[in-house]
């Protein structure tokens, strides 16, 4: 049950972003309309086996990490050395690459929040962080050493379990910051990042916690990339910076990317009383399932019900709708129609940050939430780059008997989707993310006025 009068503020943020040295660099590149997508050498090394060759990836050196390979047969590092001394060796020993990013993002968020040591370690401070997939990189090398090379189990390393378990990001962050409140992972495919933030919001809104470090992660992994490439859902045939094309007529799939987005949430009155810099106030969160039994196909009905649930909880009138916008053939336009059929065709803009940094899977919702907070800060709408031409004809699903949504083509909504950065007053943003299995998440965040 919601505790009357409790609101939730965002007071810190951090993470790991492709090609970016830090959050400020991420901010600068996004609003300059730059793409963070590159040709990926790891994919290109398997030229005859892989269709797509581009990704938004991050290397160890780019995060000031040194990979330690004490045994030649173990291709994946046994541990990392933090060249800047940010994370103790003991914590690095239990972490895969994504966990390191999560810990760094947690440190950045807590520092920005200005929480004291006693506040961080309180029973009223929770950790809710997850990634979209299991520890495939760790597992592959462990099993290869055992099954293919015939090595003893110790060759897999004593931390295979804790570095590969589904709960690893939350566990590593909790051990690093020593909080005594909730420590959980909410895993919901590509809705994971926003779903974790939404769950943490509810913990505070319902009076179960006063603070939370929360978000999503997806560590760089060719193993993850291979699975999506096998489904033939990844973009191909374009230059790297042109590969992610939400809403564009020539879109042919998403760009697989990696990163981390971590935010610090706090009960609003507590944050206000101590003079915290409030980055945004979460107005409402809602999530649901499509309920149609389809694992992959987007649901107009599910998305409409998502909006209905979000709007039932408060005053929702966004200046920007941050869409999921993956650049898949059906998903983009069906999502566009679910938006315009709900809130109309005027008075707001649509932003698709995946056009700039690709689809970060488990980290997508949280990194895009950070991008939304930056839009609130800068009072600018991020561009939907590469949306060069919108379809002037109806989509096939709009022509089917029984279709109840808009009968206008995507081109009719060109005024909502700008390929350039737009300066305007932004007071509220609605963030949308969806995942396999028909899971949907929506969150509204506003400026603190």
The catalytic residues are 190, 324, 359
Kindly report the length of the chain.
449
Q: What HEC string does 301-340 produce? A: HHHHHHHHHHHHCCCCCCCEEECCCCCCCCHHHHHHHHHH
Give exposure, 270-281, as e/b (b: 16+ Cβ within 10 Å): bbeeeebeebbb
**151 Cβ partners below 8 Å, 6+ apart?**
73, 145
Distance CA 256, CA 222 (A): 10
Contact in structure between 234 and 256 (CB atoms under 8 Å): yes
Q: Which of 321, 336, 306, 347 is nearest to 412 (CA)?
A: 336
Contact in structure between 443 and 191 (CB atoms under 8 Å): no
Distance CA 88, CA 76 (A): 20
Q: Enter the DSSP assignment of 255.
A: P
Q: Which of 427, 206, 448 is nearest to 316 (CA)?
A: 427
Instruction: For residue 280, give the H/E element and its range.
Output: strand 280-289
Distance CA 51, CA 297 (A): 22
Q: What HEC string does 75-93 produce? A: CCCCEEEECCCCCCHHHHC
φ/ψ of residue 331, rounded to 5: -55, -45
| Terminal Cα-to-Cα distance of the chain (whole angstroms) | 27
């Amino acid at each position: 049950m919601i505790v009357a009068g409790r609101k939730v503020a965002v007071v810190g943020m951090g993470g790991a972003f492709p090609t970016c040295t830090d959050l400020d660099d991420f901010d600068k590149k996004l609003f300059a309309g730059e793409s963070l997508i590159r040709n990926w050498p790891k994919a290109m090394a398997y030229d005859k086996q892989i269709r797509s060759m581009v990704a938004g990836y991050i290397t160890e050196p780019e995060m000031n990490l040194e990979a330690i390979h004490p045994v030649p047969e173990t291709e994946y590092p046994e541990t990392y050395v933090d060249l800047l001394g940010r994370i103790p060796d003991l914590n690095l020993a239990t972490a895969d690459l994504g966990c390191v990013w999560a810990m760094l993002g947690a440190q950045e968020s807590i520092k920005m929040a200005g929480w004291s040591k006693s506040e961080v370690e309180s029973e009223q401070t929770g950790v809710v962080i997850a990634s979209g997939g299991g520890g495939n990189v760790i597992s592959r090398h462990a099993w290869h050493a055992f099954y293919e090379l015939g090595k003893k189990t110790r060759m897999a390393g004593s931390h295979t379990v804790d570095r590969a378990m589904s709960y690893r990001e939350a566990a590593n962050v909790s051990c690093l910051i020593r909080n005594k409140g909730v420590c959980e992972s909410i895993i919901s495919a590509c809705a994971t990042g926003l779903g974790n933030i939404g769950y943490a919001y509810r913990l505070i809104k319902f009076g179960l916690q006063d603070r939370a470090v929360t978000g999503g992660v997806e560590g760089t992994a060719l193993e993850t990339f291979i699975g999506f490439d096998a489904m033939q859902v990844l973009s191909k045939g374009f230059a790297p910076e042109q590969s992610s094309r939400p809403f564009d007529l020539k879109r042919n799939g998403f760009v697989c990317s990696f990163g981390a987005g971590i935010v610090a949430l706090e009960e609003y009155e507590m944050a206000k009383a101590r003079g915290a810099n409030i980055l945004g106030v979460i107005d409402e969160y809602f999530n649901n399932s499509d309920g149609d039994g389809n694992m992959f196909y987007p649901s107009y009905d599910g998305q409409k019900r998502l909006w209905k649930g979000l709007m039932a909880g408060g005053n929702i009138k966004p200046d920007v709708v941050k869409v999921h916008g993956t650049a898949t053939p059906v998903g983009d336009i069906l999502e566009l129609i679910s938006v315009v059929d709900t809130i109309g065709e005027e008075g707001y803009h649509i932003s698709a940050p995946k056009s700039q940094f690709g689809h970060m899977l488990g980290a997508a919702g949280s990194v895009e939430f950070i991008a939304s907070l930056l839009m609130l800060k800068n009072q600018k709408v991020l561009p939907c780059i590469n949306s060069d031409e919108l379809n002037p004809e109806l989509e096939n699903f709009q022509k089917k008997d029984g279709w109840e949504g808009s009968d206008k083509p995507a081109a009719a909504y060109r005024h909502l989707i700008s390929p350039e950065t737009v300066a305007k007053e932004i007071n509220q943003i609605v963030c949308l993310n969806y995942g396999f299995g028909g899971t949907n998440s929506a969150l509204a965040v506003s400026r603190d006025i």
